[in-house]
Chains A and B, each alone.
Chain A
Amino acid sequence: MDKFTTLTGTAAVMPLENINTDAIIPVTWIVNYGRDLGEGLFGVWRYHADGTERTEFVLNQAPYRDACILVGGRNFGCGSSREEAVWALLGFGIRCVIAPSFGDIFYENSFKNALLPIRMAQEDIDVLMRDPAFVAGAKLVVDLETCRVSVPGGSNGIAFDIDPARREALLQGFDHIDLTRQHVDEIAAFQAADKARRPWVHAPGKGE
């Protein structure tokens, strides 16, 4: 997996709660096999029906076309489990989402793809957003080593919490399947023992 250490760049702000994965990547893009998911990011909000851009949408405006950080509202990424939501964000160039809370499945999917989801209280987000240097430049620095988000040329920033194991996996670029496959023997042993304990689980539809 790709690593994540630090990231500096433009942050687009979408102060809406419950931005769901259907909005992040509409199903029409998913079922169009081979289509670039990054183009479909927020498809219905980003384009008119004829495919032209809606100029009022944040990601269609300079400098946010080059955003690599997204700041959202409560319960970001709720709804459908579609990992395409994460792939669409990455396809557009977003590597980090900051929000007060996340849908559980989206949160999990993000880590699997080296997209950093940062849980940050709304008050703290507001502090960053009101920093004069942010107002002027719309840029943020995300440092996973020190677990801080700051504004370049601005204040010292805000610390964030993250599970240490998840942080380590991102910093090192661990592959989750390789990690688990270190335990293949234990998995086989569990299955063998469980077969004796709960035989019906291991032989669907069978009699013994």
Chain B
Amino acid sequence: MTPRTLVDKIWDNHVIRRLQSGADLLHVDRHLVHEMTSHRAFDSLRKRGIGVQSPDLTFAAVDHIVATLPGRGEATNPAGLPFIRMWRQNCEEFGITRFDIGDPRQGIVHVVGPELGIDLPGCTLVCGDSHTASNGGLGALAWGIGSSEVEHVLATQTIVQTRPKRMRIWFEGALGAGVSAKDMILYVIGKLGTAAGVGYAVEYAGPAIQALPVESRLTICNMSIELGARAGLIAPDEVTFAWLKGREFAPKGRAWDAAVADWRDLHSDDGAVFDREVTIDCTQIAPQVTWGTSPQDVVGIGENVPDPAAIDDPVRRAAVERAIGYIGVTAGRPLDGTPIDYAFIGSCTNGRFSDLVAAAEVARGRKVAPGVIALVVPGSMQVRQAAIDAGLDKVFLDAGFEWREAGCSMCVAGNGDFIPPGKRCIATSNRNFESRQGPGSRTHLASPASVAAAAVSGRIVDVRTFSGSKS
């Protein structure tokens, strides 16, 4: 048989029929729904008078607009209330399992999917959110869709897609101290640009990927969309299987054994052909921090902000000038030392347990710098509980961080948590767009350890100069 890529293997398993247009009608194994983008889809379904084709394969989380203040309820963020109510009502009416406020399983949809074993290797998984590719960290082919496609999946449990081109990004060499999965993916985006992945599904592979624990793999796949790719994935292995076993919606007993036997074939065959291959040397990666308003505007902490005068392409030069002006950094100077007002640890990129461990290691025994507001928002209530069990809540609270309940919070600033105009935030989330964290907000993206280090220093700093935790 011709050698196939991982993407092609999963794709071929899901084709219901090839359509005349050349696109394929694919089966969707898992559909995740959240409160911000789903209500129009359900309304339209109701108007058509049709139900949800496979409610058992559909799961719903409340995350985007839910308040994260301790003791929050559905009305703590008044703007979110109609959305939460519509979402709840739709789940009830159409028979969809939901993780509501007060449920110990509530959390950000891309944190909850893997952690509950809803997301499985070899599955097709979609959700009305662009960071759905996170789920590719377990070896699923997962991608974000718009509301019309949400409605299509609800109505038919299928999606019409043209087979993407395949890109493989091969990581070799060991990561340095203080460098994490977030730095790896920011580095790649900086090298290739935010449009490199348009039209592609990206497989992340190589020894440095295999060496990563599952949560780090989810972080890498999460930011595939910042590379322009709808889907990014990593071949599942023993690490994946061990991590998944026993999770609530993962297969059990004999079904588990059959699943694992099937999943062992989920890797790109030797000789499989990719449309583009890129190799990354991990020894070259320093802690990354963004200086501008696109995730590709990123440098290693020791490097300088670029000088627009040195850029030939006029469109790019204008973009760099605008970004530097907006963020308020100096061309040709390092970011190191830039004072910050806010620090945000959370989101579907870096709101998992290991992320909180990495941040707590830096925060332990230190204090948030005077004048800095620092938030820790766990990605899910399970993550939150695990952190409490490990005593991390105390570490953060002692250091002066706010300790929140689970949700998207300051990543998208839709729930009442936002950065005021002109203020500067360093964040573990995935987007540094103009006004993303609130109108006029300025965002620097970095890893959990780098953000914690900035929070206690009051300025952007090289986390490698922090020698372990202070206790």
B407 at the interface (CB under 8 A from A): no
Inter-chain CA distance A86–B149, complex, in Å, is 13
**B contact residues vs A (CB 8 Å cutoff):** 13, 16-17, 19-23, 25, 27, 29-30, 36-37, 40, 48, 53-54, 56-57, 65, 79-80, 82-83, 117-118, 120, 122-123, 128-130, 144-149, 151-152, 155-158, 160, 194-195, 198-199, 225, 228-230, 248-256, 258-259, 262, 294, 315-316, 318-319, 322, 412-414, 421, 431, 433-436, 439-440
Inter-chain CA distance A33–B248, complex, in Å, is 34
- Cβ–Cβ contact B79 & A22, under 8 A: no
Closest to B416 in A: A31
Residue of B152, B230, B414 touching A27 (CB-CB under 8 A): B414
- Cβ–Cβ contact A33 & B436, under 8 A: no
Q: How far is the CB of A48 from chain B (nearest CB, A)?
A: 10
**A contact residues vs B (CB 8 Å cutoff):** 15-18, 20, 22-23, 26-28, 30-33, 44, 49, 73-75, 78-83, 86, 101-105, 108-109, 112-113, 122, 163-166, 176-177, 180-181, 183-184, 186-187, 190-191, 194, 198-208
Residue of B25, B37, B431 touching A82 (CB-CB under 8 A): B37
- Cβ–Cβ contact A105 & B144, under 8 A: yes
> Which residues in B have their C-beta under 8 angstroms from that of A181?
155-156
Q: How far is the CB of B407 from chain A (nearest CB, A)?
A: 13
Q: How far is the CB of B80 from chain A (nearest CB, A)?
A: 7
Inter-chain CA distance A79–B255, complex, in Å, is 38
Given A104-B228, A177-B152, A204-B57; A22-B436 close (CB under 8 Å): yes
Q: How far is the CB of A183 from chain B (nearest CB, A)?
A: 6
Inter-chain CA distance A75–B199, complex, in Å, is 12
Residue of B17, B80, B147 touching A83 (CB-CB under 8 A): B147
Given contacts A26-B435, A109-B146, 11 further A-B contacts (CB under 8 A): A16-B315, A27-B414, A33-B83, A81-B128, A81-B144, A105-B225, A180-B25, A183-B25, A187-B156, A198-B259, A205-B250
Q: How far is the CB of A146 from chain B (nearest CB, A)?
A: 20
Given A22-B431, A165-B23, A180-B152; A101-B130 close (CB under 8 Å): no
Given A23-B433, A187-B157; A207-B253 close (CB under 8 Å): yes
Q: How far is the CB of A172 from chain B (nearest CB, A)?
A: 13
- Cβ–Cβ contact A206 & B251, under 8 A: yes
Inter-chain CA distance A177–B157, complex, in Å, is 11
- Cβ–Cβ contact B412 & A75, under 8 A: no
> Which residues in B have their C-beta under 8 angstroms from that of A108?
145-146, 149
Closest to B144 in A: A81
- Cβ–Cβ contact B412 & A187, under 8 A: no
Inter-chain CA distance A109–B128, complex, in Å, is 11
